[in-house]
């Protein structure tokens, strides 16, 4: 595990990354004064609500572990946050998880109404692909690989929407390790893995590097989900910025529900170590990825 | 106007096009047995509900007016139907237009529930971009231009979602020509124009050809919307396959509401002629586009 000093350093790094990513997002999303203003206000409300930006941060760090200066990677990286935010807005709708609180604020539909929340989600999803099509500094071949990667990771077969469907249909079913695995791998795992892969593809990774980074992405994705589930049981709504204890109330299939809290914590640590192992072929340019894996397991919110 | 024999011919042509497009869509959308099966059933239910496929048909006809054999155009064309169908599913939701009937059948959310309808829409939208990224027979440069064209036409600034927002916010406001123009141009116009443009881009149109075809697309798009509004007043729900007379009940801003029925019919005919004029630089390879413009104005449903 890292020392306290190293943790302080990685937190400074993450903090600076968040503000870089936010400024790129600000350039791509139409200003709240652009007509029709209401939809742009709704998109911006959810997008700039203090997210951790873990997916773009992973993409940038992966690109930098392959190339010294992957110029413009922040543009490609921010599309992952557009997709993530759209999925949160739609997940929070009354027809789905019916959540009132997200990132410490009322959810999009509570502020703008259900219709505008549905359309704001659709708009962020659409914008992600527009941004990829208009990336500066990278050739069409690479852009199209990024479009494919993002679309597949967001889709129904092994992708984010598929996981969301399994999650909804899994409610009130007996929590099994197999069911849990199928939900998590798709629902959060696919986009986290794609984050690392998109960074690697952007930077021109070799097949071998891409395979190693994909493996890292899978372990980090699993660690992230386990810790998320554990925090839902342990932490308060205030520190999470969303309603705590909701998984159990909704009879969601989670790691604590299947394995118990203690075993879940051990599993997260195992995934952290496996993420480090996956990076063994990389030099110190991959240190940020190593620190991110540590941070994901140690975080308290 | 075309003769009765020519109408029969264009209807045969449209019929054969519909079945070609349906078979391509069937190849791209995961089978209803692929897990998670429920989402694929919902996607297919709305996609294969007897749509007219006017957008893919326009794309294919535009490509053929530029090139003798735009091989594989049907794959690019079908992404327009994926986008169109997603927009119908989301528009019909209780939070938006709250419609129970579409293409003669209960709407997606009436059959599969609101949650699954939201996710089925998201999935079709995402799949459209996956298909573009995986188009056979065309280089990355052209694929990425198609991604940009489709994303912009579907987006918030002058695109489909922007028009949808204006439409929702326009309800109960005084119907003016200016407001009508801004709603229609974005809500249905942008995607119809993009249909023609995507076909042209796919087939390698020159700048001059692309400009002429864009103009054709604008006129055909306007004609289509005027006739849609007129039919909503004149036709029965049975022949439309959706609830007739809904525009007036919802106080929607339509062409008959602004201009009256008689003037609207004249305007549709003017747009048909303008569409023909836009095609003056094209030889008989553009005859299908000419026939489609006629068909759009003459249709009864």
pLDDT for B239: 65
**A25-A27-A32-A37 Cα dihedral, nearest 10 degrees:** -100
Question: Do A122 and B121 lie within an 8 Å CB cutoff?
Answer: yes
Question: Do B36 and A152 lie within an 8 Å CB cutoff?
Answer: no
Find the mean pLDDT for residues A52-80: 97
Roughly what angle, to the nearest 10 degrees, separates helices A207-234 and A287-298?
Answer: 20
Question: What is the DSSP secondary structure assignment for residue B6, as one 8-state letter?
Answer: H
* A39, A158, A250, best to mutate vs chain B, most B CBs in 10 Å: A39
Using CA coordinates, name the residue in chain A closest to B160.
A123
pLDDT for A175: 81
Question: Do A129 and B141 lie within an 8 Å CB cutoff?
Answer: no
- Residue recorded with tokens 């406001």: B173
Chain A residue numbers with beta carbons less than 8 Å from the beta carbon of B93 are: 115, 118
Half-sphere exposure of B212 (CA within 13 A, CB side): 19
Q: What is each CA distance from A24 to A48, A77, A160, B148, in whole angstroms? A: 12, 9, 24, 19
A3 band by pLDDT with thresholds 50, 70 and 90: low
Nearest CA distance, A246 vs chain B (angstrom): 18
Chain A residue numbers with beta carbons less than 8 Å from the beta carbon of B88 are: none
pLDDT for B181: 87
Please give chain B's pLDDT, 301 residues, in tens. 445 555 568 889 999 999 999 999 999 999 999 999 999 999 999 999 989 999 999 999 999 999 999 999 999 999 999 999 999 999 999 999 999 998 889 999 999 999 999 999 999 999 999 999 999 999 999 999 999 999 999 999 999 999 999 988 887 778 889 888 888 889 999 999 999 999 999 999 999 999 999 999 999 999 999 999 999 998 766 666 666 677 777 778 899 999 999 999 999 999 999 999 999 999 999 999 999 999 999 988 7
Map residue A93 onto helix, strand or coil.
Answer: coil
pLDDT(A219) > 90: yes
Give per-residue burial for A131-170: e unless 16+ CB within 10 Å, then b: bbbebeebebebbbbbbbbbbbbbbbbebbbbbbbbbbbb
pLDDT(A4) > 90: no
Other CB atoms within a 10 A radius of the CB of residue B4 amount to 7
Within B170-226, strands assigned E span none
Distance of alpha carbon A89 from alpha carbon A124, whole angstroms:
10
Contacts of residue A7, Cβ cutoff 8 Å, sequence gap at least 6? A294, A295, A298
* A44, A115, A160, A186, best to mutate vs chain B, most B CBs in 10 Å: A115
User: pLDDT tens digits, residue range B83-113?
Assistant: 999 999 999 999 999 999 988 899 999 999 9
Question: What is the DSSP secondary structure assignment for residue A101, as one 8-state letter?
Answer: E
- Residue recorded with tokens 């919110």: A301
What ipTM did this prediction achieve?
0.94
Q: Is A78 exposed, middle or buried (0-12, 13-18, 19+ CB in 10 A)?
A: buried
Instruction: Tell me what the pLDDT averaged over chain A comes to.
Output: 93
* B41, B108, B115, best to mutate vs chain A, most A CBs in 10 Å: B115
pLDDT for A87: 98
Domains of chain B in sequence order: 4-298 (1.10.600.10)
Q: How far apart are the first and last CA of chain A?
A: 19
pLDDT for B236: 66
Task: Name which of A134-138, A204-208, A245-249, B288-292 the model is least confident about.
Answer: A245-249
- Structure tokens that stand for A168 in this block: 């909804």
Nearest to A115 among B30, B96, B130 (CB): B96
Residues 158-217 of A with CB under 8 A from B: 159, 161-162, 164-166, 168-169
pLDDT for B1: 46
User: pLDDT tens digits, residue range A121-166?
Assistant: 999 999 999 999 999 999 999 999 999 999 999 999 999 999 999 9
Q: Say if residues A92 and A107 touch (Cβ distance below 8 Å).
A: yes
Q: How far apart are the first and last CA of chain B?
A: 19
- Structure tokens that stand for B7 in this block: 């109408």
pLDDT for A1: 46
User: pLDDT tens digits, residue range A21-34?
Assistant: 999 999 999 999 99
Distance of alpha carbon A283 from alpha carbon A290, whole angstroms:
11
User: pLDDT tens digits, residue range B261-298?
Assistant: 999 999 999 999 999 999 999 999 999 999 999 999 99
Q: Which of B301, B291, B300, B299 is nearest to B57 (CA)?
A: B291
């Amino acid at each position: 595990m890292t020392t306290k000093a190293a943790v302080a350093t990685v937190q400074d790094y993450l903090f600076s990354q968040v503000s870089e990513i936010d400024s790129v997002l600000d350039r791509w999303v139409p200003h709240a004064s652009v007509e029709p203003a209401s939809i742009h206000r709704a998109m911006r409300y959810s997008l700039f609500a203090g997210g951790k930006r873990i997916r773009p941060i992973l993409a940038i760090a992966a690109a930098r572990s392959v190339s010294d200066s992957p110029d413009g990677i922040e543009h490609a990286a921010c599309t992952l946050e557009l997709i993530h935010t759209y999925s949160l807005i739609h997940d929070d709708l009354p027809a789905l998880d019916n959540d009132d609180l997200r990132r410490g604020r009322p959810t999009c539909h509570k502020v703008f109404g259900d219709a505008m929340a549905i359309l704001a989600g659709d708009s962020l999803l659409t914008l992600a692909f527009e941004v990829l099509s208009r990336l500066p500094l990278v050739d069409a071949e690479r852009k199209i690989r990024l479009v494919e990667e993002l679309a597949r990771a967001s889709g129904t077969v092994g992708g984010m929407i598929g996981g969301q469907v399994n999650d909804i249909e899994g409610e009130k079913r007996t929590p099994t390790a197999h069911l849990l695995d199928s939900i998590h791998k798709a629902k959060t795992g696919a986009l986290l893995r794609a984050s690392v892969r998109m960074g690697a593809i952007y930077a021109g990774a070799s097949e071998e590097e891409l395979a190693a980074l994909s493996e890292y992405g899978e372990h980090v994705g699993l660690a992230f989900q386990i810790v998320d589930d554990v925090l839902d049981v342990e932490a308060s709504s205030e520190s999470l910025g969303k309603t705590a204890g909701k998984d159990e109330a909704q009879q969601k299939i989670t790691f604590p529900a299947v394995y118990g809290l203690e075993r879940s914590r051990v599993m997260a640590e195992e995934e952290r170590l496996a993420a480090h192992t996956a990076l063994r072929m990389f030099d110190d340019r991959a240190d940020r990825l190593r620190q991110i894996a540590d941070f994901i397991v140690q975080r308290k919110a």
